[in-house]
Chain A
Amino acid sequence: MAEISCDRISKTWNSDTSEANLAIDDISFSVESGEFLVIIGPSGCGKSTLLSMIAGLEFPTVGSIRFRNEPITGTSTHRSMIFQQASLFPWLSVIDNVAFGLSLQGISKNERHDRAKQYLQQVGLLKSAHRYPHQLSGGMQQRACIARALCLGTDVLLMDEPFAALDVQTRHQMQKFLLEIWQGTGKTVIFVTHHIDEAVYLADRVLILTANPGRMLEMVTVDMPRPRDMLSKGFEYHRNLFVDHLRSEVVRAFEEQELAEMLDTRIK
C-alpha cells in the first residue's frame, strides 16, 4: 500500500475569478512508505502548491490525494511540513518554537524542552536555544524550523527547499544529517529543491515537473548506493540527465513568458 498517492490532481488558484491560474495540471504519482522522493522543476511550476496539498493545507480542484488510502481532508499529526520561508513565531524563544508542536499536545515543559534540546543540538543551535528569532540569521532560523518539524516525530516529512538559505558547507552537513535521520527512522520524505546535486545526492526517485503549469515531465529512479560520491560516474550521469530536462523547461518557460509579454504590449 502506498503511503501517499496523488490521483490525477489539478489545482487552479482563484478558480472562480478572472485571475484563475492553473498551477498543477493532471499529476499522478505515489510514494511508498519510507521512500525519499525529490521534486524538482523550474521556479513557479507549482512545487510548493503540490506540497501544501499533500500537507492538507490546500485542496486539489480536480482529483484526490490519499494518505494510507484515506482521502486527505486537512492537516494531520502524521505529516509535518517545512516551509520555503523560515516561519518561526517571533514571540517565542527558539526552544519554545521547536517545542511548539509538543506543547500543542499538552506535553510537560520539562519533557518537551528535553526533546527540543536534542534536535537543537543536531542542527547546531543549542547555544541559541533561549534567543529570539529576530536575533538569528536566516540560515539559523531555517535550521530551527527543521528541528521543529523533526521534534514532532511525524512519519512523513514534507520539505520545501529547506536548505536553500544555507551556505554550501552547512547545506552539505544538513543533507547528511537528514539522510541519517531518514535512514534511522524510516520516515517518508518528500523534498522540493532547485538544486540538482542535492536531488541526486538525496533521492530514491526524482519527480521532474514542467514549467507553469506543472505537469509531470519525468519520474527518474536514482539507483545508487548511499553515501553517494558527487564525483562518481553515476552521479555525473544523473546530474546531466536532470540538467538537460530542466534546461529545456526553463528555456520554454522564459520563451512563453516573453511571448506573453510581446502579445500584451501589442494589445496595448
Chain B
Amino acid sequence: MWWCLSLALFIGLWELVTALGWVNTLILPPPHEFIAEISNQEQFLSPRIGVARTGGNFVLLTAIVATLKRVIAGTVLGFIAAIGVGGLACYFDLFGKLTLPVITLLAPIAPIAWIPFAIMAFGIGDGAAIFVVFIGIFFLLTLATVNAINNVNQLYINTARVLGASRRQVMFRVILPAVIPDLFFILRINFFAAWMAVLAAEMVGVNTGLGAIVMVGRQMFNAKLMFLGMAIIGIVGYLLDVGFRQLQQRVLWWKGSSQI
C-alpha cells in the first residue's frame, strides 16, 4: 500500500519536473517516454545496430535471461563451493590451516576488482561474468561458513554424540543443518554485491545482458534506453530479493517466520 503510494509520488514528481521543462528531457527523459521505449526495442536494440558495435543480440528479454543465468549460476556454484571448502577446513584441521589464511587475504578484494582478470582469463562472455559472481560469493561465504561452524551450539553436538553419532555424522546431520540459516542470510546480503558486479562486468567488457543495454544507451546518446535499462535492473533486482526470501522460508521451514 505505502509501497505503491511512494512509487507513484516519485514517478509523478519526475513527470511533473520534466513536463514543466525544468530539465533537459534528452538527458533525463520522463518515465512514460522511456518505458514506451520497450516497443522500439527492435529498432534500437536489434542485432543490426548491435552487431556492428557489440556483436550481441540485444532484445530485452534475452538480456534479462543472460544476466539472470550468470548471476544464478555463479551464486549456486559459489554457495556449494563455499560450504564444501568451509566444511573441509573445519573437518580437516591441516586443510583449514593451509587454505584459510589465503582466503582471508583474498576476501576483501571487491568482486568488481576481479573483472579485468576475469575478462583476460575467460574472454568476453558468460565465463567471465559467472566467475565474477562466484568470486563475490565464494570467499566471504567460506569465511562465514567456518565462523558459523565454530559457533554451532555445543549442546547440539554433545547431544548427537551421546546418541552415538560419529564425527562424520555430527558434521552432516547436525552442523550442516545448524549453519544453513546463517549462511542463507549472509548469502542474501552478498548476493547483491555479486549482482552489481555482474552488471559492471557487462558494462565494461561482457557486452551482453542488462548492464550492456545501459552502456549501449550511453554510447548512442539515447537516455531513454539508458533509463529503461536502469528501471529494469531495479525491478529484476527487487524480484530476485523477493524470490530469495521465498526460498529462505522454504528452506528454513522449521523456523517461525519471525525468526528469519
User: Could you tell me which A residues sit within 8 Å of B by CB distance?
Assistant: 52, 55-57, 75-77, 79-81, 83, 85, 87, 89-92, 100-101, 104-105, 132, 134, 148-149, 152, 158
Given contacts A89-B174, A101-B164, A104-B165, contact A134 B159 (CB under 8 A): no
Please tell me if B43 contacts chain A, counting CB pairs below 8 Å: no
Residue from B159, B174, B177, B255 having most chain A Cβ neighbours under 10 A: B159
20 pairs from A and B in contact (CB 8 Å cutoff): A55-B162, A57-B158, A57-B161, A80-B162, A80-B163, A81-B158, A81-B162, A83-B158, A83-B159, A85-B155, A89-B156, A90-B254, A91-B177, A91-B178, A100-B173, A101-B163, A101-B164, A104-B163, A148-B163, A158-B162
Expressed in whole angstroms, the minimum distance between the Cβ of B249 and any Cβ of chain A is 14
Q: In the bound complex, how far is the Cα of B161 from the Cα of A90, in angstroms?
A: 17
Please tell me if B169 contacts chain A, counting CB pairs below 8 Å: yes
Expressed in whole angstroms, the minimum distance between the Cβ of A53 and any Cβ of chain B is 12
User: Could you tell me which B residues sit within 8 Å of A by CB distance?
Assistant: 155-156, 158-166, 169, 173-174, 177-178, 254-256, 259
Residue from B163, B173, B174, B178 having most chain A Cβ neighbours under 10 A: B163
| CB < 8 Å A-B pair total | 60
Q: In the bound complex, how far is the Cα of B163 from the Cα of A75, in angstroms?
A: 8
Interfacial chain B residues near A81, Cβ < 8 Å: 158, 162
Q: In the bound complex, how far is the Cα of B155 from the Cα of A84, in angstroms?
A: 10
Closest residue of chain B to A100 (Cβ to Cβ) is: B163
A77 touches B164 (CB 8 A): yes
Given contacts A89-B174, A91-B177, A104-B173, contact A134 B254 (CB under 8 A): yes
Q: In the bound complex, how far is the Cα of B259 from the Cα of A224, in angstroms?
A: 50
Expressed in whole angstroms, the minimum distance between the Cβ of B176 and any Cβ of chain A is 10
